[in-house]
Structure 1
Amino acid sequence: MLDKTFKNQDLNLNDLPDYQKIETRFINPKYIKILRLQIGFLVLPVFIFIVCSIYFQFDLPQLFWYIFIPTVSLVLSLWLIEVEAGFKKRTFGLRDHDIYFSKGFFVHKETVLPFKRIQHVEVIQGIFLRWQNLYAIKLYTAGASSGDLAIYGLDKGTASQIKAYVMQQNSDLSDESTS
């Protein structure tokens, strides 16, 4: 007869491993140029609109000048601070069983993704990454179509090594589960 007694033991929090004890590496410093360029592509149309509205004397309500412009300026300034100050917090690291990534200044985000959950790994290089000869690695788990973790701003060697390591870990895990 099966014992159907549910047991839920208390854990001592001091006995848990510290997930932050990991040797991390920074994203390639060339990647900040891409982030700055993205901000520039957003600022440029707004700047052109403001210049054209002054030059051609568009009949814009006073609310536009007193609310819209300061609000847009504030948002863009905060975004610029996030990019500049948050870039120093973009780190990644690998351990035996998982990959770690952190980013963000105002909203700091740390992601730890176990290898056994990863189903697909992709190394990509879009047009902006190609401009700086950088790559990104996307790690997919079940149910996520956009990727659960994407690390942008890696050189080709690092991205390829991470992909190979993750694939090797997945292979080892699947070999253990079939034994």
Structure 2
Amino acid sequence: MKNMEEQGVSSGQVFQNLSIQPEQLPAIATVEWRPLSGAYLQALVLRMWLFRLSVLAAFAVAALLSPAIPLTLILWVSAGWLILALATMAYLKYRHRAMGYAVREHDLLYRSGLLYRRTVAIPFNRMQHSEVLQGVIDRQFGLARLAVFTAGGSSSDLVIPGLEAEQAYRMREFLGEKVADE
């Protein structure tokens, strides 16, 4: 009882947890989403082509070394693989447009997904720390990923890819200050 009084809760107060009507919730449509860097799309396309061409080259070498596989089959599979790569490029373009983030007064939001939409919100008071990550291709394009960690997990709870490196470091610093204030 004494501990409750020290925290400012008198013994006469009753805990309340009132319902909020759905109409009273803030509309997600009012969020100002910031797009990811345009260089991120270029990095995604480069990664895709590096993967597709390396698999295609391995297939072509294996097929050419095997006399049992006709040349026409090799050409058809190669053409199909390249058409699939072009379709993947179009998908990456539209997926990139659907991605974005927002920093609000009390939380950080990230949305992704073209076919399956996903929106993650992490309140500042739940964040433990954040990291800036850069791979080889990211560095070539001046990009970074911001990873945000909350309590209770060994892996990041949110990763925002495709940020300009300077922006990612500024966000990490801002989040660090917010976490210290909470």
TM range (shorter): 0.7 to 0.9
Q: Residues 92, 72 of structure 1: CA spacing in aligned structure 2 closer, same or farther, 3 A cutoff?
A: same
Matching residue within 130, 139, 163 for 2:139: 130
- The unaligned stretches of length 5 or more in structure 2 are 2-10
Matching residue within 154, 159, 172 for 1:150: 159
Q: Residues 45, 157 of structure 1: CA spacing in aligned structure 2 closer, same or farther, 3 A cutoff?
A: closer
User: Aligned partner of 2:102: which letter?
Assistant: G
In structure 1, the partner of 2:111 is: 102
Distance 2:152 2:81 in 1: 36
User: Aligned partner of 1:141: which letter?
Assistant: T
TM-score normalised by the chain length of structure 1:
0.76
In structure 1, the partner of 2:122 is: 113
| Per-residue Cα deviation, 1:87-120 (whole angstroms, up to 9, x for no partner) | 0111111001101111221222111111111101
In structure 2, the partner of 1:140 is: 149
Q: Residues 48, 155 of structure 1: CA spacing in aligned structure 2 closer, same or farther, 3 A cutoff?
A: same
Equivalent residues in 2 for 1:22-41, closer than 5 Å: 22-41=31-50
User: Aligned partner of 1:149: which letter?
Assistant: L
In structure 2, the partner of 1:160 is: 169
- The unaligned stretches of length 5 or more in structure 1 are 174-179
- The count of aligned residue pairs is 168
Decide whether the 8 Å contact of 2:146 with 2:161 is kept in 1: yes
Decide whether the 8 Å contact of 1:91 with 1:101 is kept in 2: yes
Distance 1:74 1:102 in 2: 29
TM-score normalised by the chain length of structure 2:
0.75
RMSD of aligned residue pairs (Cα, Å): 3.3
User: Aligned partner of 2:175: which letter?
Assistant: V
Decide whether the 8 Å contact of 1:82 with 1:104 is kept in 2: no
User: Aligned partner of 1:167: which letter?
Assistant: G
User: Aligned partner of 2:40: which letter?
Assistant: Y
In structure 2, the partner of 1:85 is: 94
User: Aligned partner of 1:118: which letter?
Assistant: M
Q: Secondary structure at the match of 1:150?
A: strand
Distance 2:80 2:126 in 1: 42
User: Aligned partner of 2:142: which letter?
Assistant: N
Distance 1:88 1:171 in 2: 33
Distance 2:84 2:121 in 1: 30
